[in-house]
Structure formats: structure tokens, C-alpha cells
Amino acid sequence: MFGLSRRILPQQERAMGPLLIGSLVVSLLGLPIAAWLDLRALSERMLRTQADEISRIIDEVRGFYGSDVVGRILPAAGPITVTHNYRDVDGAVPIPATLSIELGKRISGVNGTVRYRFVSDLPFKGREPHHIDSFEQAALSRLRADPKQPVIDISGSFLERRVRTAAPVTMGAVCVSCHNTHPDSPKHDWKVGDVRGIQEISVVQPIAGNVLSFKFLLSYFAFVATAGLILIVLQRRQTRLIRGMNRELSDANDFLAGVSAKLAKYLSPQVYKSIFSGEKDVAIETDRKKLTIFFSDIKDFTAISERLQPEDLTALLNEYFTEMSAIALRHGGTVDKFIGDAILVFFGDPETKGVTEDARACLRMAVEMQQRLEVLSAQWRQRGIEQPFCARMGINTGYCNVGNFGSNDRMEYTIIGAAANLAARLQSIAEPGGICLSYETYALVRDLVEAQPLAPIVMKGLSREIIPYAVKGWSGEVSGRSQVIREQTPGLDLFVDPDAMSESGVEQAKRRLTEALAVLNLRTS
């Protein structure tokens, strides 16, 4: 499945690449082109509408002039007069105000987009009164206060907009003379420039009627929406594919993490870290380095194994190895291997703090191991182990070959050299519970320990004699470590760990030991 996913994903990417580029080009170029085409179409539509309205208005004016002006003059037998009630007088024609009123009726009587109306709040007597709305009333008031100030109102609904504009109808000299002398005039003190009324032009534009003018933009948005849906579908498919790959990668990572965690149990943490971080290659190769080698072995392990059941022995040995390994790691040692009941640890590879500090760290580790083993022995005795473990330890500093040894199919990271063999030999001559050093190590840690030289030993393969140094006490930074006292013989089971005691416990131990000493003195007296 993982291989199939890796083949499908590049195909999806190749398919989406041109599609994304094409969609981007269309999106960038399509919008201005569609907007320009729709604006041109809208302009043409508005121009046609305006031309139709102007043509209609001119037709209405021509029709009114033909019927109500020329049509009344030609058949007239008497003189031609101008009056507001021209239809009641033979041979009469309308005055300008009447002309405006009649034209407004004709122009507004047709269902067009333009309407015209002459409005006055001072009509002649006998004339049909004008219905004046709030806009017209406000326009009259404002224009009489300032005739040069235009009055415009924009209103409408969601689907229709309406623009109304009002202009003043001012009195000329002829109009003033007529209105001031005419008996039907409601006012006889007109002056030239007075605003008698307003002429209102109203333009209505339905929005729905222009929707189709944006057909190119609508087509563009439809295309973009379709392309967006396609991209969303492809993106979801790709997301599902990537999610599946992530699950596969997560499963693979979990599997590899589990395998690596299991492999880590067979390797020292330093070696495991260097391999998985890429610092070291898994190849058959070695380096020659100066290391400090630690070797420990349990005294009389064969006799102990004969007395214990295999299950108890296994549990005891695993607990011992666990405790000692934790101490080794805490001090920076590389746990090489467990050889039966023996432990091989070295300092200086793959991590080193320098030859001197490696040797000192190894000594501190050995001291802590012996102290911990004293505590473990007391615990094991309480659990019924008659003869707990007692370890001998040897430390040597010298050159070894360190690296991967073995075959291409199976290899082991370990050390080989006489220095390692000498550490094992030093362990064999150490006292139970003691630590034995070579001179090379003792020279590096002499400020930490008090050591006594032993009889020289000869090792096979070495032409010179080796002088071991048995650790007898501590000085320097390890001198503050409390010594654990342990002794077990028939009738005596003694274990004293000062570091584990409280102040009251120390006082109680003193009293009990004093009592025990008094009893022993009575026995010998």
C-alpha cells in the first residue's frame, strides 16, 4: 500500500499542476475581461434605454403639440388666445404652466423609466389641485430659500432604485404680469425671480432588468466556482491519500521504534545512540584508543548457583546486573557485555572526557557499585538468600582495539587487547568486596584513594611484571563516602550503612552496638 501511495501521489501532483496554473491564469485574466465586456454591454443597454426614453418623450411632445396646439389653431375661426383653460376656449392654446402639466401627464402616463411632473402649491382656481408629497414640499421650501441649490433624492427597494430631482420654476416678467392681474390667480404680488413651483424629473431603474447585462461576470463566477469545486474534490482526494500515507508512515515509525527499543536492550546506550544518530557506521572497523577497563566477578558464584534454584538465581543475577548497569551508565561507562556473572565496562569510547577523567569516573563507579552491593546483600538476606553476592573488581588503563568485530552478517561492538585481559586478572587477585588497580590507573587516581601495592604478577603475553594496587581507603572527593560495614558469621548478622540512617537511628545503633560489645566482653572474660 505504501508503494502504491507513493506512485499515486506524483500522478495527482502532475494532474493538479497544470490545472492550478490554468485556473490561476483564467482567474487573473478572466475577471478584468469579463468586467470590461459586461460594462460595455451595460453601457450599450443604458444608452439604448436612454435613446428609447428620449424618443418617447419627443413623440409625446410632438403629439401634444400637434393635437393641443396646431390642432386648435388651424380650425379656429376667431383670434388665437393663450389661457390656462384652453380647452374651454375656441382657438386657445395652453400657457407654459399648463403645457408643463399636460406634458407631465402624457410622459408619466406611459410605463417608462422617466417621469416628469410640474408641481405648484399655488394653482389657479378651478384647476385640479396638485398632490404634493414630502419630497416635493421640502423641495419647494429649499428652492424658495435658495433657487441655485439642487434637490436630489435617491430611494427604492432591493430590486429597484429611484432618483428624483427638482428644479425651480421661476417667474418671468410676462408671468408676473399675467398672474398678478388674472382673476383666478391665488396670489397677486408676484415678483420676477419668485419660485412659483418645481418641475420634478423621476428616473426609475429596476436592478433585476440589468442582471443579464453581467452575463460575462456570471459566467466567470460560475467557471471559478466549478474550478474551485474541482480543486476541492482533488484536494480532498489528495488529503485522504496523504492521510493514508501518514498512517502508513506512523505505523512504520511505530514498528521501527519498537524494533529499535528492542535492539537497544542488546546494545550499550552509548553505542545505540551513536549508531542511530549516524555518528558511527555499522561496518567492520576498529580504532585503537586508550581506555580504562573495568572487570568484576562474583566470588564463589558456582557454589552460590548450586545452592539456589535456577529461577531464584536468574532473578537475583538479573537484579544485580540491572543495578550495576544503572550505576555504570550514570558514570558514563559503556557496558560491553555480561560474561556469566562477570561484567565488562570500559570508559573512553564512544564518549570520552579525557584519559584522566575517564579513569576517575571508572573508580567512582566501582566505589558506588561496591556500596550498592552492600545494600543489596542486606536486602537479599532478608529475602532468605543465605550467601548474597560479593564482587571482586579490577581496573586497568591502557590501549585497546575498540569497534565492530565479527562478520558481515553478525558483529559485536567490543574491545580486544592485553589491557582488557589485565583488568580481568586484577579482578581475580582482588579481595572479596575490594578493588584492585593497575599502576597506570593508580597514577591517574592516586589523589582519590589510599592503595597498597601487592606482590608483582606476571601475565602471559607480557614480558614485564605488573604491580597491582589494592584499594584500602578513600581520600579526596570520595573520602566523604560512608563505608558500609557488613559481617555475617554463625550467630552474627551485622550490616551498618551510615548514609541510610537518620540522626536518631545513628544514636540507636550506637547504643545497641555498645550493648553488643558489653555482651561479647562478658563472653570472653
Q: What is the mean pLDDT of residues 94-121?
A: 81
Give CA–CA dist 296/346, Å, rounded: 12
| Residue 427 pLDDT level (bands cut at 50, 70, 90) | very high
pLDDT at 125: 79
Extract the C-alpha cell encoding 306.
548450586
Neighbour tally for 182: CB within 10 Å: 15
pLDDT at 293: 97
| Residue 468 pLDDT level (bands cut at 50, 70, 90) | very high
DSSP 8-state assignment for residue 268: -
DSSP 3-state of 461: coil
129 vs 367, residue with greater confidence: 367
Give CA–CA dist 43/45, Å, rounded: 5
Amino acid residing at 134: S
Question: Which 3-state string (H, E, C) describes 86-114?
Answer: HHHCCCEEECHHHHHHHHHHHHHHCCCCE
Give CA–CA dist 292/354, Å, rounded: 10
pLDDT tens digits along 487-501 = 666 677 676 767 667
Give CA–CA dist 34/178, Å, rounded: 59
Residue 241 has pLDDT above 80, yes or no: yes
Neighbour tally for 306: CB within 10 Å: 9
Residue 449 has pLDDT above 80, yes or no: yes
The C-alpha angle with vertex 232 and arms to 227 and 234, in degrees rounded to 5, equals 95
pLDDT tens digits along 134-164 = 888 888 888 888 888 888 988 877 778 889 8
Extract the C-alpha cell encoding 107.
410622459
160-170/342-347 β-pairing: unpaired
Taking CA atoms, 75 is separated from 125, 369, 484, in Å, by 28, 141, 148
Residue 1 has pLDDT above 50, yes or no: no
211 vs 49, residue with greater confidence: 49
Taking CA atoms, 68 is separated from 87, 287, 517, in Å, by 8, 124, 152
pLDDT at 52: 80
| Residue 208 pLDDT level (bands cut at 50, 70, 90) | low
Among all chains, which residue has been given the C-alpha cell 428652492? Answer: 143
Looking at every residue in the chain, the average pLDDT score rounds to: 83
What's the farthest any 2 CA atoms get from each other in the chain?
A: 179
Give CA–CA dist 267/270, Å, rounded: 8
Give CA–CA dist 521/513, Å, rounded: 12
Give CA–CA dist 398/439, Å, rounded: 10
Give CA–CA dist 140/138, Å, rounded: 5
Q: Which pTM value belongs to this model?
A: 0.52
The DSSP bridge partners found for residue 205 are: 161
Q: What is the mean pLDDT of residues 261-272?
A: 70
Q: Provide Rg for the chain, Cα atoms.
A: 57
Give CA–CA dist 391/408, Å, rounded: 36
Helix 215-264 crosses helix 2-65 at what angle (to 10 degrees)? 160
H helix runs in 331-448, sequence order: 355-382, 418-429, 439-445
Comparing CA positions, the residue from 266, 288, 294, 293 lying closest to residue 402 is: 288
Percent of the chain with pLDDT over 90: 24
H helix runs in 133-268, sequence order: 134-145, 173-181, 215-264
pLDDT tens digits along 249-263 = 888 888 887 877 777
291, 347 in Cβ contact below 8 A?
yes
**Range of weakest confidence among 186-195, 210-219, 319-328:** 210-219
Q: What is the mean pLDDT of residues 443-456?
A: 91
H helix runs in 279-354, sequence order: 301-307, 310-330
pLDDT at 4: 45
DSSP 3-state of 413: strand
* Total number of residues shown for the chain: 525
DSSP 8-state assignment for residue 208: G
Amino acid residing at 82: V
DSSP 3-state of 494: strand
Give CA–CA dist 100/77, Å, rounded: 26
Residue 292 has pLDDT above 80, yes or no: yes
Q: What is the mean pLDDT of residues 468-479?
A: 75
Give CA–CA dist 210/205, Å, rounded: 9
Residue 127 has pLDDT above 50, yes or no: yes
Which H or E element spans position 271?
helix 269-276
Residue 222 has pLDDT above 60, yes or no: yes
| Residue 226 pLDDT level (bands cut at 50, 70, 90) | confident
Give CA–CA dist 398/424, Å, rounded: 13
pLDDT tens digits along 14-53 = 556 676 677 777 777 777 887 788 788 778 877 887 788 7
The DSSP bridge partners found for residue 401 are: 288, 416
DSSP 8-state assignment for residue 483: P
pLDDT at 477: 52
304, 310 in Cβ contact below 8 A?
no
**Range of weakest confidence among 70-74, 107-111, 241-245:** 107-111
210, 45 in Cβ contact below 8 A?
yes
| Residue 2 pLDDT level (bands cut at 50, 70, 90) | very low
Residue 99 has pLDDT above 50, yes or no: yes
pLDDT at 362: 96
Residue 351 has pLDDT above 70, yes or no: yes
Q: What is the mean pLDDT of residues 278-286?
A: 71
